[in-house]
Amino acid sequence: MASHGFWSLGGDNAGANTGSQSPSTPRAWCQAAAQKLSGGFGSKLCALLNVGEVEKPAEPAAEQPPQTAAGSCGCNKSCTCTKSTDVGFSDLYSTDLLPAMNGDTKTMTFLQEVVDILLAYIVESFDRETKVIDFHYPNELLQLNNWELQDEPATLDDILISCRATLKYAIKTAHPRYFNQLSTGLDMVGLAADWLTSTANTNMFTYEVAPVFVLLEYVTLKKMREIIGWSDGRGDGIFSPGGAISNMYAMLLARFKMFPEVKEKGMSSVPRLAAFTSEHSHFSIKKGAAALGIGTESVICIKADECGKLIPADLERRILEAKQKGFVPFFVSATAGTTVYGAFDPLIAISDICRKYNIWFHVDARVWFLPLSRPNNQTHYLRWSRSADKRTLVRFASGVNTNRPQSDPTTENMHFFGLNKPP
Ligand SMILES: Cc1ncc(COP(=O)(O)O)c(C=O)c1O
């Protein structure tokens, strides 16, 4: 059975430390996880899952399979579903579907079946009476279904069963009781767009290969630049697949704008650089500095106040200190919606300091920006961006639209990265 490797966790270690407990119980799994995972993650997981002292051992899955284990339909509720055996997919393979000869009817029937599964899942996700997740510990889940990649091709029937099983054990992110700081809910129009882009299945290399998508990218970026107040939507921008990489792009751009020769000559052509960010900023700022050869020690963390906002006076002090030590301050990254507190750094004060010392100013603007920027909800932040000076790099992320590029399997999407006109 496929319970080896990381997720089995029980292994010899856990056995030694859990006495007579079999690692197949939640408690034993947690204890093993607590040992194996660094940073107290395992213990936190156990606390979160309430695996306490009087833990009822999990029934071995093989003895008490869920009503709908592999081989049956995989539906979440009791059902008399016979789809997996009735529709005649048990003798068909992907090679029977288009572009196979006469594959059109089989293709349509198969895809219709998939759509039915997805639609049933969507409707169920909004039902308060259902669970947000049908949770199982990894070692149990490995036994409930055969997740291993087989050498033999799967029948279409197997594929449908896997689709149902995948959704059965998935977390229902659209569920009214599902809460997450980054993503929640399901936007039906966005979902339709996602299905559409997957069906079109194209690259965005050139206009010739994706005429409509290239135009849509152009008009959407322009609109986003208008929203943040850049006149006539002028400037430039790209969509990027995530926040961490956007933060690195910001640093890359700031360095390039200040020292264009770095492109050809590399880091030996630039002085010792210093970047500044709040101690509450996302770790990707340091990661970006590492990847770009700037070095994590060149990222200077500025103190935050009790609300988690960067303290401008400390920023100015550290900039002067760095200059005295021979560093060239080139980049300040403020956050509009920090990861943990959701704090907004004082953008105007920070941008004034950046202007004073001629430093590129980047705003890592997280999921809260777009909802706040609706016309009737003019915020302090929006007013700031309207008056933003030219030396500004902005990155916005929003979960508003679920039309995400295929490279971004998360629900936080539509990362827009804009570079204001150079001074
Ligand atoms: C403020 C902030 N910036 C950047 C990131 C990184 O975003 P991503 O996970 O999309 O790379 C996060 C992620 O939580 C964040 O909270």
Question: Would you report the helix, strand and coil content of the chain in percent, each value rounded to 5?
Answer: 45, 10, 45
Least confident of 6-15, 174-183, 221-230, 340-349: 6-15
Q: Are residues 190 and 332 in the same domain?
A: no
Ligand 1: distance of its center to the CA of 280 in Å? Answer: 12
**Index of the ligand 1 atom closest to the CA of residue 247:** 4
Regarding whether 248 and 190 lie in a shared domain, the answer is no
Query: How far is C-alpha 13 from the chain's CA centre?
Result: 33
- Supply the CATH number for residue 410's domain: 3.40.640.10
Ligand 1 midpoint to CA 131 (Å): 28
Confidence of residue 77 (pLDDT cuts 50, 70, 90): low
Distance 214 CA to ligand 1 centre (A): 26
The answer to whether position 24 is within a domain reads: yes
Do 228 and 419 form a contact (C-beta atoms < 8 A)?
no
Question: How many domains is the chain partitioned into structurally?
Answer: 2
pTM value? 0.69
Ligand 1 geometric centre to CA of 377 (Å): 24
Query: Residue 365's beta-bridge partner residues?
Result: 336, 396
Write the DSSP string, 202-265. ---S-TTT-HHHHHHHHHHHHHHHHHTT-GGG-SEEEEES-HHHHHHHHHHHHHHHH-TTHHHH
Pocket test for ligand 1, best of 180, 246, 251, 284 (most atoms within 8 A of CB): 284
Pick from 167, 199, 231: which residue ends a domain?
Answer: 199
Tell which wins on pLDDT, 59 or 315.
315
Q: Closest Cα partner for 395 from 340, 331, 341, 352?
A: 331
Average pLDDT, integer, range 192-205: 94
Find the domain containing 176 and state its range: 5-55+66-199
Helix (H) or strand (E) holding 236: strand 236-240
- From 282, 287, 345, give the residue whose CB has the most ligand 1 atoms within 8 Å, as the site to mutate: 282
**Beta carbons of 279 and 297 less than 8 angstroms apart:** no
Q: Is residue 423 part of a domain?
A: no
Query: Same domain, yes or no, for 190 and 234?
Result: no
Pick from 239, 347, 362, 364 the residue to mutate for probing ligand 1's pocket: most ligand atoms within 8 Å of its CB. 364
193, 228: one domain: no
**Range of weakest confidence among 21-30, 98-107, 196-205, 314-323:** 21-30
In angstroms, rounded to a whole number, what is the distance separating the alpha carbons of residues 19 and 378? 61
Which residue in 236, 81, 80 sits closest to 161, CA to CA?
A: 81
